Amino acid sequence: ETGVTQSPTHLIKTRGQQVTLRCSSQSGHNTVSWYQQALGQGPQFIFQYYREEENGRGNFPPRFSGLQFPNYSSELNVNALELDDSALYLCASSLAGGPGYEQYFGPGTRLTVT
Amino acid sequence: QKEVEQDPGPLSVPEGAIVSLNCTYSNSAFQYFMWYRQYSRKGPELLMYTYSSGNKEDGRFTAQVDKSSKYISLFIRDSQPSDSATYLCAMSYTNAGKSTFGDGTTLTVKP
């Protein structure tokens, strides 16, 4: 069974730039959620994708957008980067209709905005 | 005020101690209650979960949920240095993929 993978591991961008983060879900999982974890805080839900459609969104502006592909992998795009976007971005996969408590996280992408 | 508040810590205990980690919440619609463990520079890993109220035990770990008080706890018995990590509580009313997390408690278990 393949776990959740994310790329890249680290990224440094300049304020105003755009960034794309990638996630491959665990084998057999069809739902992907993205979270932002600022230093010293818990993960904050950004959005979830199921069947290539957004299936719920947290309190994040529209410059945070995503995609899910037919193989269930996913991308998180952030436009017009701000300094406060510096954080660990976590992807988690789960199975729709599976146990409601179950999701598996990837190792995250650490984004630094200067 | 945040929907989920977690005792901030940090906590430092000697090996073998009993550890109590706690969270309170305000949204009575939460049904799934999870505890995650996160090591430095890693993603969170699911440690324990409870659906609705009650207790659940798994080895040295016990999770408790009191929905009437909107309070959840994780107890670790016979704590080990390998338990040193940040512990995150999380809650959801639909599925875990839309969880609301506490800010974590960092635990250090000293040999």
pLDDT value of residue B91: 94
Give the integer Cα–Cα distance in Å for A36 and B6: 18
B49 touches chain A (CB under 8 A): yes
Structural contact between residues B45 and B37, judged by C-beta atoms closer than 8 angstroms: yes
A66 reaches B (C-beta below 8 A)? no
User: According to the model, what pLDDT value does residue A2 have?
Assistant: 67
CB of B63 within 8 A of CB of B48? yes
pLDDT at position A27: 87
Residues of A in contact with B102 (CB under 8 A): 42
- B65: number of Cβ within 10 Å: 24
> By C-alpha distance, which of B35, B32, B31 is closest to B6?
B35
Give the pLDDT confidence of B63-92 residue by residue, as tens digits. 999 999 999 999 999 999 999 999 999 999
Indicate the pLDDT class of residue A1, thresholds 50, 70 and 90: low
B45 and chain A: CB distance < 8 Å anywhere? yes
Q: Mind telling me how many Å the CA of B50 is from chain A's nearest CA?
A: 8
Lowest-confidence range among A52-66, A85-99, B8-22?
A85-99
